[in-house]
Structure 1
Amino acid sequence: MNLKKISILLGVFASSLAMFAGTGSESPEIWEKIPSPLKKASWIWPYPISFCEIVNSYAQFREKFEIEDVPEKAPLYITADQCYRLYVNGEFVASGPARGFQKSWPYDEIDVAKYLKKGVNIIAVRAYNAGRSTFGYLTAGNAGVLYALDLGNGKIVASKVNTKSRRQSGCDRNTAIYSLQLNNQEHIDLREENPDWVKADFDDSKWGGSEGAKVFNAMPYYTLEERMIPMMESYIVPAPRLVLQGSGKCADTSERVFNINELLAKEVCEHKPMSCATDFVEVPASKPGEYQSYIFDFGKMMVGFPMIKIEGAKGGEIIDMSHAEVLNGANLLDSHKTHCKVALSNRLICRAGNQEHQFFHIQGFRYVLVRVRNNASALKVYPMLRWSAYPLEDKGVFSTSDELVNKIWQACKHTQKICAIDSYVDTPWREQAQWWGDARVQSWNTFFISNDARLLRRGIRNIAMQTVPNGLTYGHAPTMAHTCILPDFSLTWIASIWDYYWQTGKSDAYTEHRDVVMGILSYFDSVTDDNGLVRYDPRYWLFMDWTDIQRDGNPTVLNMWLLYALDRMAELCNDCGFDDDAEIFAARASKVRRAITTRLLDSDGLVVDGIRNGKKNPSKSIHSQTLAKINNIEGFDFEKACVDILLPYIRDDKVFSKATPSSFWVVNVLKVMADAGYNREVYDFIKRRWAEMAEYGTTFENFDVSSGISHSHAWSAHPVFLLPQILGGIKQEAPAWRKISCNPNRFVDSATIVYPTPQGNVKVSWKKNSDGSFNQNIENPAY
Structure 2
Amino acid sequence: MPPNREAQAAPSEDTGTPTQMRVEGLGFLGAERTHNLGDFYSSPPTLAADKSRGQAQYEGRRGLLLQAKRPIPLARFRGCWVRIRIRGCIVFRRTSKQESSRNAPQLIIFKMKFIVVVNALIVALCSHVALATTIGHPSLMPREDALSDNNNNNSTVATPYGNVVSTVLDDGKKKVEFFDVDGTLEVTAIEAVDGTAIFYDAEGREVNLADMDEDDDDEDLEKRVPKWRLAIKFAKLIAKYGKRAWSYIYCVGTAPFWKCGDETINSLQSNWIWAPNWVDSSPASTAGKIVRFTHNVLLTSPATRALVHCSADTRYKLYVNGVRAAVGPARGSPVIWYYDTVDMAPYLRVGDNEIVFVVLRYFNAGRGAMPFERTAFPGLTVVGTIETGTETVDVQSREGWLVQVDESINERIAPAVLEEPTTPMVYGIRTLNGDLSPWRLRPRQIPMPEESSVGVGLVRKCQSTNHIDEWTGFLIAKQTLTLAASSSHVLEIQADVHSTAFLRWSFRAVQASGITLKITYSEGYEQEPPSYPFFRAKADRLHAENGRLIGPYDEVTLDLPAGVTTVYEPFWFRTFRLIRLEIASGPAPVELLSFDAAQVNYPLAVKASWQEEDDQYSERIWEVSIRTMRNCMFDGCSDCPFYEQLQYSGDSRSVGLFHYLLSGDDRLMRQAITNFASSITPEGLTQSRFPSHVPQIIAGFSLYWILQVCDHHRHFGDSAYARSFLPRIDGVLEFFHAHIDSLGLVSNLPDDVWQYVDWVTTWGATETHPDKGVPTSGRQSNRHTFFSLLYAYVLNQAAQLLHDVGRPGHAAEYTARAEAVLASVRTHCYDGRFFTDSTAAIAGEGAYSQHCQVFAVLAGAVAEDDRARLLTESFAEPCFAKCSYVMQFYALRAFSLAGDEAYEAYWGRVWDPWRRMLECNLTTWEEDDVRQRSDCHAWGSVPIYEYCTELAGVRIEVPGARRVLFKPRLRLSKGLLARVAVGKDNVATVRWETLDGEKRVELRFERAVDVVSQLPGEKAVEHGVVQSLFFTWKGR
Instruction: Report the TM-score when normalising by structure 1.
Output: 0.82
Is 1:371 aligned to residue 597 of structure 2?
no
1:499-514 pair list within 5 angstroms: 499-514=711-726
AA partner of residue 136 (structure 1):
P
1:445 to 654, 658, 666: 658
1:617, CA displacement in angstroms?
A: 9.4
AA partner of residue 608 (structure 2):
G
2:851 to 603, 613, 623: 623
1:580, CA displacement in angstroms?
A: 3.9
Task: Tell me which residue corresponds to 1:763.
Answer: 989
Answer with 504-513 or 732-741: which moved more: 504-513
1:213, CA displacement in angstroms?
A: 3.1
Distance 2:859 2:1001 in 1: 35
1:766, CA displacement in angstroms?
A: 2.2
Q: Deviations over 1:678-714 (max 9, x none)?
A: 443343224322112234111111134x5x5211111
1:122, CA displacement in angstroms?
A: 2.9
Contact 2:778 2:837 in 1 (8 A): no
Is 1:778 aligned to residue 980 of structure 2?
no
Answer with 543-552 or 403-412: which moved more: 543-552
AA partner of residue 326 (structure 1):
G
1:647, CA displacement in angstroms?
A: 6.0
Contact 1:536 1:551 in 2 (8 A): no
1:223-262 pair list within 5 angstroms: 223-246=440-463
Distance 1:55 1:97 in 2: 19
SS at match of 1:426: coil
Q: Deviations over 1:116-170 (max 9, x none)?
A: 3344433211110110343212332221111112346975321015511111133
Is 1:207 aligned to residue 421 of structure 2?
yes
1:50, CA displacement in angstroms?
A: 7.1
Answer with 312-321 or 31-40: which moved more: 31-40
Q: Deviations over 1:376-435 (max 9, x none)?
A: 425326443221111100111111122311111111111001011111011100110101
Alpha carbons of 1:417 and 1:340: their partners in 2 closer, same or farther (altered >3 Å)? same
AA partner of residue 448 (structure 1):
L
2:504 to 294, 307, 317: 307
Is 1:456 aligned to residue 592 of structure 2?
no
Task: Tell me which residue corresponds to 2:328.
Answer: 96
Is 1:63 aligned to residue 295 of structure 2?
yes
Is 1:143 aligned to residue 374 of structure 2?
no
Is 1:346 aligned to residue 526 of structure 2?
no
Decide which structure has the larger Cα Rg and report it.
2
The answer for unaligned runs of 5 or more in structure 2 is 1-136, 145-254, 537-549, 764-774, 1011-1036
Alpha carbons of 1:657 and 1:499: their partners in 2 closer, same or farther (altered >3 Å)? same
Is 1:3 aligned to residue 139 of structure 2?
yes
Contact 1:322 1:370 in 2 (8 A): yes
Is 1:700 aligned to residue 926 of structure 2?
yes
Distance 1:504 1:149 in 2: 34
Answer with 80-89 or 608-617: which moved more: 608-617
1:645, CA displacement in angstroms?
A: 4.1
Task: Tell me which residue corresponds to 2:160.
Answer: none
Task: Tell me which residue corresponds to 2:277.
Answer: 48
1:752 to 973, 977, 982: 977
Contact 2:265 2:441 in 1 (8 A): no
1:455-474 pair list within 5 angstroms: 455-474=668-687
Task: Tell me which residue corresponds to 1:581.
Answer: 810
Distance 2:274 2:337 in 1: 17
Answer with 467-476 or 207-216: which moved more: 207-216
Is 1:598 aligned to residue 822 of structure 2?
no
1:164 to 399, 402, 407: 402
SS at match of 1:385: strand
Task: Tell me which residue corresponds to 2:800.
Answer: 571
Task: Tell me which residue corresponds to 1:78.
Answer: 310
Task: Tell me which residue corresponds to 1:544.
Answer: 757
Alpha carbons of 1:616 and 1:494: their partners in 2 closer, same or farther (altered >3 Å)? farther
Alpha carbons of 1:233 and 1:31: their partners in 2 closer, same or farther (altered >3 Å)? closer
Give the count of matched residue pairs: 702
Alpha carbons of 1:597 and 1:576: their partners in 2 closer, same or farther (altered >3 Å)? same
Distance 1:446 1:511 in 2: 23
Alpha carbons of 1:458 and 1:620: their partners in 2 closer, same or farther (altered >3 Å)? same
The answer for unaligned runs of 5 or more in structure 1 is 9-27, 176-185, 194-203, 249-270
1:312, CA displacement in angstroms?
A: 4.2
Answer with 668-677 or 293-302: which moved more: 668-677
1:84, CA displacement in angstroms?
A: 0.3
Alpha carbons of 1:630 and 1:5: their partners in 2 closer, same or farther (altered >3 Å)? farther
Is 1:326 aligned to residue 524 of structure 2?
yes
Distance 1:753 1:219 in 2: 50
1:750, CA displacement in angstroms?
A: 3.0
Task: Tell me which residue corresponds to 2:1014.
Answer: none
Distance 1:335 1:362 in 2: 28
Q: Deviations over 1:499-533 (max 9, x none)?
A: 11111111344333333323222321232101211
AA partner of residue 56 (structure 1):
G
Contact 2:533 2:933 in 1 (8 A): no
Instruction: Report the TM-score when normalising by structure 2.
Output: 0.63
Task: Tell me which residue corresponds to 2:355.
Answer: 123
1:3, CA displacement in angstroms?
A: 3.0
SS at match of 1:664: helix
SS at match of 1:696: coil
1:765, CA displacement in angstroms?
A: 1.1
Alpha carbons of 1:275 and 1:247: their partners in 2 closer, same or farther (altered >3 Å)? closer
Contact 1:37 1:156 in 2 (8 A): no
Task: Tell me which residue corresponds to 1:709.
Answer: 933
AA partner of residue 432 (structure 1):
Q
1:283, CA displacement in angstroms?
A: 6.3
AA partner of residue 127 (structure 1):
V
1:561 to 787, 790, 794: 790
1:413-432 pair list within 5 angstroms: 413-432=626-645
Distance 1:375 1:717 in 2: 47
AA partner of residue 234 (structure 1):
E
Distance 1:235 1:208 in 2: 37
Q: Deviations over 1:705-760 (max 9, x none)?
A: x5x52111111111122123232122222222221122333433432100011251
1:670-709 pair list within 5 angstroms: 670-675=892-897, 676-677=899-900, 678-694=902-918, 695-704=921-930, 706=931, 709=933
Distance 2:380 2:575 in 1: 26
SS at match of 1:391: coil
Contact 2:858 2:893 in 1 (8 A): no
State percent identity of aligned pairs: 20
1:666 to 888, 912, 937: 888
Distance 1:753 1:334 in 2: 41
1:346, CA displacement in angstroms?
A: 1.4
Distance 1:34 1:155 in 2: 21
Task: Tell me which residue corresponds to 2:703.
Answer: 491
1:356 to 567, 582, 585: 567
1:474, CA displacement in angstroms?
A: 1.7
AA partner of residue 698 (structure 2):
L
SS at match of 2:617: helix
SS at match of 1:721: helix
AA partner of residue 348 (structure 1):
V
Contact 2:515 2:583 in 1 (8 A): yes
Contact 1:567 1:585 in 2 (8 A): yes
Is 1:391 aligned to residue 391 of structure 2?
no
Contact 2:980 2:988 in 1 (8 A): yes
Higher relative contact order (CA 8 A, sep 6+): 1
Answer with 295-304 or 60-69: which moved more: 60-69
Contact 1:340 1:430 in 2 (8 A): no
Contact 1:310 1:354 in 2 (8 A): yes
1:436, CA displacement in angstroms?
A: 1.4
Alpha carbons of 1:287 and 1:378: their partners in 2 closer, same or farther (altered >3 Å)? closer
Distance 1:224 1:414 in 2: 32
Q: Deviations over 1:247-270 (max 9, x none)?
A: 69xxxxxxxxxxxxxxxxxxxxxx
Alpha carbons of 1:300 and 1:591: their partners in 2 closer, same or farther (altered >3 Å)? same
